[in-house]
Every structure is written in structure tokens, then in C-alpha cells.
């Protein structure tokens, strides 16, 4: 029995293995080292100035496909090594331009439509709306509305907007138009001083704001015209037929009826309007020397009275003859057939009179009567201007 011990086995280690430190699991990972390769072009820094770009050639033009050395560009070249596109001299060839779309087919010219009003004037005809207004059927605006709704016929044929008609044309109006017109109202208001007759201006209210149930005259409310009672729709489209300045008082007509408005303020209107005017004699102005406030009639020259009646002009136009008489030593009565802005006051200034009070008491055959200041009433069924 042999007593020899087995030889001890020797563990062979690789060179440098004993000095290798174990990897730290918490250490940050490093990017793997890329194997050496061909030289790569360096990117241009963003802060470095870039060379100006040359304009690209026109669409469809042939571009150079070669590198700086004239050799064909290979796929292995990077974008930074590509040469700048060559600038083509002159305009591109016509063959390289894209084909244009075919030109649109021109539209046929519209059929000639003559101006009906001009044709009518040549034939001695007038517009239908003017003819209806001249006949007193309605106003021009109402006529246009009725024509648009098909309520008007000319010689049995439905009328067209702007149609010229001869003077002897038979004009028929549908009952619907008459019914609409019968619902329109005309209101007589005793306008106070401080209210404007038209639209509000300079902080002053319009006279139309006084129209309402509380301000209706009691005498008219007991027996209203045609049995009418005030309703909110009576204020819609209510417009003054004539002006009465803010410093004046008296009769003011407001209406929804175009026929009434045409009668009172139409171009050919000759309706009389009567005023009572209190005056001072002021040959040098209301603040100047020689002012006379009592017994003005005694000192007012008769020649100036003749000018008031006829001979004055306003805005470069001669005024129509007027009736002017003394009611008492300090008050005049004017009857005019026109209504220019502040006409009586401006007429009096030209002859040395200063108006201190003005009141309108009559328009046509309609009188103010005992209607209180600030109140109104309906125009009676038997009243006509």
C-alpha cells in the first residue's frame, strides 16, 4: 500500500486577471467604443456663419449630379460633401416648364337689360311709384312695398319694381294694401319747448317720446277717432311731418301714413302753416343799443314789414310770399306755405326783429285748439289738412 499523496492541482490564471477589479453595478454605463472607420466629416457649428444660399433652379430643370471633382456622386458621400446646385443662366427652357392648365371658356355676355326709368322718360312715362304718389294712393316707399308684395296691377298685369307707366294706365291696388293703410295713424301733438321734432340731438329728447297712453288728451280718450285706442304699435314708424325747432311750441304732426307726409312736406306742398310770434325791435341785435320791448308796432318801419311779406331770401333762394300782420303791438301773425329751417326767426333777424316766443296754431285746416301742452290726440276721421 502506497502512502504517496496525490499531487496538488494548480489553478492557472490568465495574465492580469488578478489585478481586474470587479464591476460596480451602480456605476454609470459608458457608451461602447465604436471601431475605427473611415474619416467622418465634422458638423458645422450652429454658431458659425452659414454661407448664403443660392437660388435653386427652376422646377424641372436638370441638376448637376457630379461632385466637386467631376466624378459621379456616390451613395457613400455624406450630405455635407454635396456641392451646391449650379445656377442656371437665363430663363429655363420652355420644355422644362410645367404644362399650364387650359384657359377657362369665356362666359357668354349677359343679355342687355335697358333702364326702365330711362326708357319710360323717353316715351313720356314715369315710374309707377311716383305715379301712385301723384294720385294720392300712397307714398313712394309704400308703393315699392306694395309692388314687391304683388299688391299692384297695371292694366290687369302684376306690376314690376321700377316699371314706367303712361299717364292713362289703369292702376289697381289689392284690398290687403288698403287694409294695411287703414291701420296707420296720424297724431297731433302740442310740442313743448325743449323737445326736438326729429331725432334726439345735443342731449334733447325727441317729441315722439311724449306719445303714450298717459299723455293722451282726455277729450280724445273719451271719444277717440274711429274708435281707436292707443296701442304700442302706433309708435312704430311714427315720423314728424314737418319741423318745429327746439325753442318753439305748438302743433306738430307725427304720422305713419305716407300720404299725410307727402301732403305736408312734399316738394309741391303748399299747405298753409300759421304761427303767432312775439318779437322785440332790435336793430343792433338783442344785446345792442336801441332795443324796444314794448309797443314794437309803433317803431317798426313799414318798409321792413313789406320785406317780411315778400322780398327776403334764405340760403341763396328767394322765399315765397307770406302773410304777416300785427296781432297786437308786440305780436305778429305769420302764414307760410313753406318750412325752411328756423325760417321765421331768420326772416325777423334780417329786418331787425328778435323773436322771443313762437307758437304754431294751425296746419292746413287742422287747428291746435285747446290741446294742452305736452299732450296729443288722434287726427279725426273728418279732419283733412
Strands (E), 235-330: 239-240, 249-255, 273-281, 313-314, 317-318, 323-328
Examine the residue annotation and report whether 245 is marked as an active-site residue of this protein. Answer: yes
Strand (E) or helix (H) holding 23: none
- Residue 3 CB: number of other CB atoms within 10 A? 4
Q: Do residues 158 and 209 lie in contact, with contact meaning Cβ atoms separated by under 8 Å?
A: no
Q: Do residues 138 and 259 lie in contact, with contact meaning Cβ atoms separated by under 8 Å?
A: yes
Provide the β-strand partners of residue 378. 187
Strand (E) or helix (H) holding 360: strand 353-363
User: Residue 310 — φ and ψ, nearest 5°?
Assistant: -170, 130
Give the integer Cα–Cα distance in Å for 171 and 156: 8
Name the catalytic one among 202, 245, 295, 325. Answer: 245
CA nearest neighbour of 339 among 331, 347, 330, 328: 347
Q: Which residues are catalytic?
A: 245
Amino acid at each position: 500500500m502506497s502512502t504517496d499523496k496525490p499531487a496538488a492541482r494548480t489553478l492557472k490564471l490568465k495574465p492580469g486577471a488578478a489585478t481586474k477589479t470587479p464591476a460596480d453595478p451602480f456605476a454609470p454605463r459608458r457608451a461602447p467604443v465604436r471601431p475605427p472607420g473611415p474619416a467622418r466629416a465634422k458638423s458645422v457649428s450652429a454658431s458659425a456663419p452659414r454661407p448664403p444660399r443660392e437660388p435653386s433652379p427652376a422646377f424641372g430643370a436638370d441638376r448637376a449630379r457630379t461632385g466637386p471633382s467631376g466624378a459621379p456622386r456616390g451613395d457613400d458621400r455624406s450630405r455635407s460633401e454635396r456641392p451646391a446646385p449650379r445656377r442656371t443662366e437665363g430663363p429655363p427652357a420652355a420644355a422644362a416648364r410645367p404644362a399650364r392648365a387650359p384657359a377657362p371658356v369665356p362666359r357668354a355676355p349677359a343679355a342687355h337689360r335697358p333702364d326702365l326709368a330711362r326708357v319710360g322718360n323717353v316715351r313720356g312715362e314715369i315710374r309707377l311709384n311716383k305715379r301712385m304718389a301723384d294720385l294720392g294712393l300712397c307714398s313712394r316707399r309704400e308703393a315699392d312695398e306694395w309692388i314687391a308684395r304683388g299688391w299692384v296691377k297695371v292694366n290687369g298685369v302684376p306690376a314690376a319694381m321700377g316699371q314706367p307707366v303712361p299717364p292713362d294706365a289703369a292702376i289697381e291696388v289689392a284690398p290687403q294694401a288698403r287694409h294695411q293703410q287703414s291701420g296707420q295713424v296720424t297724431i297731433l301733438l302740442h310740442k313743448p319747448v325743449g323737445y326736438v321734432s326729429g331725432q334726439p340731438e345735443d342731449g334733447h329728447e325727441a317729441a315722439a317720446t311724449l306719445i303714450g297712453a298717459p299723455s293722451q288728451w282726455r277729450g280724445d280718450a273719451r271719444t277717440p277717432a274711429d274708435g281707436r285706442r292707443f296701442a304700442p304699435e302706433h309708435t312704430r314708424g311714427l315720423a314728424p311731418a314737418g319741423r318745429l325747432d327746439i325753442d318753439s311750441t305748438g302743433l306738430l304732426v307725427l304720422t305713419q301714413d305716407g300720404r299725410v307726409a307727402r301732403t305736408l312736406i312734399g316738394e309741391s306742398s303748399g299747405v298753409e302753416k300759421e304761427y303767432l310770434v312775439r318779437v322785440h325791435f332790435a336793430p343792433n341785435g338783442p344785446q345792442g343799443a336801441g332795443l324796444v320791448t314794448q309797443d314794437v308796432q309803433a317803431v317798426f318801419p313799414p318798409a321792413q314789414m313789406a320785406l317780411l311779406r315778400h322780398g327776403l331770401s334764405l340760403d341763396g333762394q328767394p322765399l315765397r310770399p307770406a302773410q304777416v300782420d300785427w296781432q297786437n303791438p308786440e305780436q305778429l301773425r305769420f302764414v307760410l306755405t313753406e318750412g325752411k329751417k328756423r325760417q321765421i326767426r331768420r326772416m325777423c333777424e334780417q329786418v331787425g326783429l328778435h323773436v322771443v316766443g313762437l307758437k304754431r296754431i294751425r296746419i292746413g285746416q287742422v287747428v291746435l285748439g285747446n290741446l294742452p301742452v305736452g299732450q296729443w290726440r288722434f287726427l279725426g276721421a273728418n279732419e283733412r289738412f
